[in-house]
Amino acid sequence: MIKIASLGDQSQEGLYGVFMEAFADYSVPITWSLADFQESNQRRGLDLSLSLGAWEDDALVGFILNGRGAWAGRPAAYDLGTGVLPRARGLGLAGQLAARLVEALPGQGLKTYVLEVLRDNQAALRTYEKAGFRITRMLECPGGEWRPPTGKHPRGLELVDLPQGRDFPGSELEVFRDWEPSWQNSDDSIARTPGRLVVLGARLEGRLAGYLVASPAGTIWQLAVARAERRKGIGRALLSALAARVGPSLRYINIQADDEASRGLLASGGITEGPGQYEMVRDL
């Protein structure tokens, strides 16, 4: 007998083991410690009152963890992770949990439901499509060892640390972007991750001409250069500065697939293709 109920009274410590067991055979290895799990949840706005679990004989065997925030200016939920333990697969639990949430989330004042799914996970894709989600864009996750390509930097280029956490100047920097960062890389996620990021700005003649945000592990969250200053080596300088701080192993999770210029820059330094994702959205 399966019981579906809120995870609002659960602890992250109690959920961690179930999460790791559910994702043990995931196509992209997850090797998080409990601290990594908690930090990822904080970054993405985990709200256990918006999350559901499936129990079998008082044992949690499936879950959807959701975050709360905003998307495209509307109150939104974000699927941080949908997992089912191997022994409970084949029962349609993920679909049942998603359908229940689609019904319940509007009552929490939420207007949009956002998630990402690996493109090779066709079973999950079908589950989300059945629940009413639509694909909104393709995202790529290139990774590798950064080897700075040859080329000069603009004369007078200065790299500086920028404020992070709630002081991150996202409203000033968004003019540099050609597309919006995904939920987990958004300005809101940066605000929820105080003091633990590498946030670099590139200045030319005293004016900001580009910036980069990344985790201490070398995962790039945002990278953009002013349109008038592109193809001058600013992006290359920012990536080289990041590699000097955190090591050469870099990955950009969720770069928009049609951003050929940024993907080309990364590839020129050895950051090549990785697993791709679909971003999916459902209006509530």
- Specify if 54 maps to a domain: yes
173 and 269 housed in the same domain: yes
DSSP state of 185: G
pTM of the model: 0.94
For 98, the 3-state DSSP assignment is helix
Structural domain range at position 182: 143-278
Provide the number of structural domains found in the chain: 2
153 and 269 housed in the same domain: yes
Q: How would you class 195 by CB atoms within 10 Å of its CB: exposed for 0-12, middle for 13-18, buried for 19 or more?
A: exposed
Residue 56 CA to residue 168 CA, distance in Å, equals: 44
Strands (E) located in the chain: 2-6, 52-56, 59-71, 74-84, 112-118, 134-140, 143-145, 158-161, 198-204, 207-214, 219-225, 249-252, 255-256, 276-283
Average pLDDT of the segment spanning 240-250: 97
100 and 31 housed in the same domain: yes
pLDDT at 157: 95
- Specify if 138 maps to a domain: no
Last residue of a domain, one of 132, 155, 184: 132
37 and 101 housed in the same domain: yes
**Cα angle 69, 275, 254; round to 5:** 30
User: What's phi and psi for 192, nearest 5 deg?
Assistant: -85, 0
- Specify if 137 maps to a domain: no
The amino acid at 44: R
Last residue of a domain, one of 108, 132, 156: 132
Any idea which residue has 């029962």 for tokens?
91
Two structure tokens written together for 174: 């968004």
109 and 156 housed in the same domain: no
Question: 150: domain CATH number?
Answer: 3.40.630.30
164 and 264 housed in the same domain: yes
Taking only the tens place, the pLDDT of each residue in 66-75 is 999 999 999 9
Residue 268 CA to residue 147 CA, distance in Å, equals: 8
For 122, the 3-state DSSP assignment is helix
Cβ distance 20 to 32 under 8 Å? yes
pLDDT at 273: 85
How long a stretch of residues is the chain? 284
87 and 185 housed in the same domain: no
154 and 215 housed in the same domain: yes
Two structure tokens written together for 78: 């974000």
- Specify if 234 maps to a domain: yes
Taking only the tens place, the pLDDT of each residue in 92-122 is 999 999 999 999 999 999 999 999 999 999 9
185 and 251 housed in the same domain: yes
227 and 175 housed in the same domain: yes
243 and 222 housed in the same domain: yes
User: What's phi and psi for 158, nearest 5 deg?
Assistant: -125, 130
Any idea which residue has 């022994």 for tokens?
87
According to DSSP H, which parts of the chain are helical? 12-22, 34-43, 93-104, 122-130, 170-173, 187-191, 234-246, 260-268
Residue 121 CA to residue 125 CA, distance in Å, equals: 6
126 and 159 housed in the same domain: no
Nearest partner of 50 among 97, 2, 1, 13, judged by Cα: 97
Last residue of a domain, one of 132, 167, 200: 132
Taking only the tens place, the pLDDT of each residue in 157-214 is 999 999 999 999 999 999 999 999 999 999 999 999 988 899 999 999 989 999 999 9
pLDDT at 103: 95
- Specify if 24 maps to a domain: yes
